[in-house]
Structure 1
Amino acid sequence: MVVDGLRRARRVVRWVLIGTLLLTWFLAVLTSAGALGLGVLAWQRALLAAAGLAMFSVVFVRMTDAVLSHGISRRERVVSGALALAVMVTGGAQMTGWGFVPLAWLSIAAVGVSRKSAVLLGAGTAVVVTPPAVFATLAGGDPTFATDVPSTVGAVVGVSFYYVVMCALFPWTNRLWVWIWRLAEEAHAGREAQARLAVAEERLRFARDLHDMVGHQLSAIAVKSELAVRLSAADAGAAKDEMAEVRGLARTALRELRETVRGYRRLDLGAELATVRGVLEAAGVTCRLHLPHREVPEEVAPVFAWVIREAATNVLRHSSASRCDITVRHSEEEAVLEVRNDGVARRAAEDVGSGLAGLGERMAAVGGTLEARPTGSGEFVLRAVAPLPVEVGA
């Protein structure tokens, strides 16, 4: 299903974004264990930093959900950034440990802003977090360098290079994932819009045909009725003749109206196949028709047309299909229609579309059956079978 696919895509992107937070916890715990073992970090300070990181984690998850829905406010960015910096300083500001917290903040704060703003956020983060990390390195607070503390120049160059590279890369990775998610949303919206467009075009076609069929007669009725009213006082015979013509026009209009409605209720299989193919291919679904050399018997052709219309609607609205095969075959005993697409449908067939129940009733009216189910190979098949009590000519 398209909706299920969107939900899965959202969950994947969400966990990718949260993955940065999980990495932050891993590095913080690992670095704190080393710092506690070397005696360069007090356990009270480590617990306080862990509590701050827990608070930051709650804010980070909320910001992640906001990114995937409405966006992050400026206030949320500022407050969470200040919290990330406070956690970094409290934990010891090790660049491979607690100093990773501002990078996690940057990975989510730079999403949903312009490119220029993302660059400024990255540069600002590098400028703000580098001094505390350099100080922690020179003071021996980073267990990575505890046995061989670098010189002042080495610490400044090494830490600065680390944060410049990380602050240049982190904003764009998550922005890419969120961009992919937005594309998936737009593709889903486009598919639904295509389905609505097909319905709107059908309504316009019906309105146009109805106007062309009975519009002339109704206009003539109005004119002749007005003429009959004017003649009724001066020439009753002429008025009577005019009303007789009005009656004839009304009967003609009624007959043509019935024919028009009957034509829409009794669909043409060939026209429906052509329409469905055009709509599916316009929506990016490759549609292949496998049709018999002989025409489908008129007893089942209208019912098959309804089945094809509903099947195409379900493909557009409820699946992520890229290919759809429509097969029609018949013998002297039965006629078979099969619509197969490669969109994975995980729910039961009765949940795919409410129209399938009505199609089942239509097939039952001609003594046929309707089956709709997913296959084990990632396809969804709708199969309609109708018996043919009459002999089909060769």
Structure 2
Amino acid sequence: MVAEGLNRARKVVRWTLNGTLILVWFLVAVTTAAALGLGILTWPRALLAVAGLVAFSVFFFRITGAVLAHRYPVRDVVAAGALSLGVTIAGGSQMTGWGFVPLAWLSLAAIGVPRRVAVLLGAGTAVVVAPFGVLGALAGTDPSISLDTTTTAGGVVGVIVYYLVMCSLFPWTNRLWVWIWRLAEEADAGREAQARLAVAEERLRFARDLHDLVGHQLSAIAVKSELAVRLTGADADAARDEMAEVRGLARTALRELRETVRGYRRLDLDAELTTVRGVLEAAGVTCRLHLPHREVPEEVAPVFAWVVREAATNVLRHSSASRCDITVRHSDEEAVLEVRNDGAAHRAEDVGSGLAGLGERMAAVGGTLEARPTGSGEFVLRAVAPLPVEVGA
């Protein structure tokens, strides 16, 4: 679920950034059609401006990809800025048309730079573009502005104020979306680091247990083996006794090693519930545990632990859940584990192939496993085991 959510967020941010360019094309199409219809823009100038806008769009997409990859392509930004100014002049500098192209450039150019630089970019864009907007309004090439001798001053002031306001807002629009995207990336990286740390801690714990449980026995074996070698020529009986002790120590070490490995393979339900809750909440999923007052019978607790682990894995990988409830209850006749989340998968195969293995584990104790969406946007995994578990089950 985490990776899918991150990819979904990336697509949303990409579409948001590119949405500015889509808006530019829409405004340009409307104002250009009006200008051509009124005869205040010639076809050669319009075609030249469109060609420049196509080139600008190519740079725009390149800059968008670089921004999402944590790069700032200075050359592409400079080239796109020059193109935006050129197409503005060629198209007639309409405020809500070709004059909008430098604003789209500004929305990208201000991403990935310090705040002070973003402010300077906005101020610089206003200083450069506003005069062309004023000239376009005075020359009558902007169909959205109609000036006469009584409104000229007001129109000029209006154009200047428009660009000042827009250039003060546009540096921060897309910066906000990219900031949110990078927060999501950092959160995902933090979750991966947490998972790696948990694995490393588990390895250290396993190594420590092996050292504590088996290390003493192996050290004793080494000492007694050396002693037996020394006694071989002088006292054969004593050497034989020492080797007998070595054999006993070796068997003890082997038994303890097997018990240690078996303990790691046999999951503990309480520990697994605690771990799963921590992992889900670290991934942004609210996890609530509803547990009985009595301990779950040891015949089914390990199997339920595997079910909880697989259920949590499916929640993270195959759903968009924001809430997960884990309920455990048992009576004298049966034990029930239910995992319910509010992010039901849209396809049947999204529930995860690991459920087949869980079904086999439940069958081994005479139980059943059911996994299905509820129709209300929830997904329920339910495991039921009879009590007491039959020996042959």
Q: Aligned partners of 1:52 and 1:390: how far apart in 2?
A: 77
- SS of residue matched to 1:95: coil
What's the counterpart of residue 217 of structure 2?
217
**Cα contact 1:195–1:316 (8 A) shared by 2:** no
Offset of residue 29 of structure 1: 2.1
- Give the 5 Å matches for 1:4-153: 4-148=4-148
Offset of residue 115 of structure 1: 1.5
Do the aligned partners of residues 100 and 58 (structure 1) sit closer, same or farther apart at CA in structure 2, a change above 3 Å counting?
same
**Cα contact 2:371–2:382 (8 A) shared by 1:** yes
- SS of residue matched to 1:144: coil
What's the counterpart of residue 346 of structure 1?
346
Which deviates more, 217-226 or 367-376? 367-376
Q: Aligned partners of 2:377 and 2:195: how far apart in 1?
A: 23
Give the alignment's TM-score, normalised by structure 2. Answer: 0.89
Offset of residue 153 of structure 1: 5.0
Structure 1 spans left out of the alignment, 5+ residues: none
**Cα contact 1:137–1:149 (8 A) shared by 2:** no
What's the counterpart of residue 387 of structure 1?
386
User: Is 2:205 the partner of 1:205?
Assistant: yes
Q: Aligned partners of 1:21 and 1:229: how far apart in 2?
A: 85
Number of aligned residue pairs: give it.
Answer: 390
What's the counterpart of residue 367 of structure 1?
366
What's the counterpart of residue 377 of structure 1?
376
Structure 2 spans left out of the alignment, 5+ residues: none
* Alignment-mate amino acid for residue 302 of structure 1: P
* Alignment-mate amino acid for residue 202 of structure 2: E
Give the alignment's TM-score, normalised by structure 1. Answer: 0.89
Do the aligned partners of residues 161 and 17 (structure 1) sit closer, same or farther apart at CA in structure 2, a change above 3 Å counting?
same
What's the counterpart of residue 325 of structure 1?
325
Q: Aligned partners of 1:105 and 1:8: how far apart in 2?
A: 25
Q: Aligned partners of 2:343 and 2:188: how far apart in 1?
A: 13
**Cα contact 1:138–1:151 (8 A) shared by 2:** no
Q: Aligned partners of 2:353 and 2:389: how far apart in 1?
A: 32
- SS of residue matched to 1:143: coil
- SS of residue matched to 2:95: coil
Q: Aligned partners of 1:147 and 1:137: how far apart in 2?
A: 7
Q: Aligned partners of 1:114 and 1:374: how far apart in 2?
A: 48
- SS of residue matched to 1:145: coil
Offset of residue 287 of structure 1: 3.1
**Cα contact 1:195–1:317 (8 A) shared by 2:** no
Q: Aligned partners of 2:383 and 2:203: how far apart in 1?
A: 27
Offset of residue 265 of structure 1: 2.1
* Alignment-mate amino acid for residue 132 of structure 1: F
Q: Aligned partners of 1:206 and 1:239: how far apart in 2?
A: 35
Offset of residue 43 of structure 1: 2.1
**TM-align CA RMSD:** 2.6
Q: Provide Cα deviations, 1:54-83, integer angstroms capped at 9, x if missing partner.
A: 232232223223222243410110111111
Q: Aligned partners of 1:361 and 1:323: how far apart in 2?
A: 28
Do the aligned partners of residues 52 and 275 (structure 1) sit closer, same or farther apart at CA in structure 2, a change above 3 Å counting?
closer
Q: Aligned partners of 1:271 and 1:120: how far apart in 2?
A: 55
Do the aligned partners of residues 119 and 149 (structure 1) sit closer, same or farther apart at CA in structure 2, a change above 3 Å counting?
farther
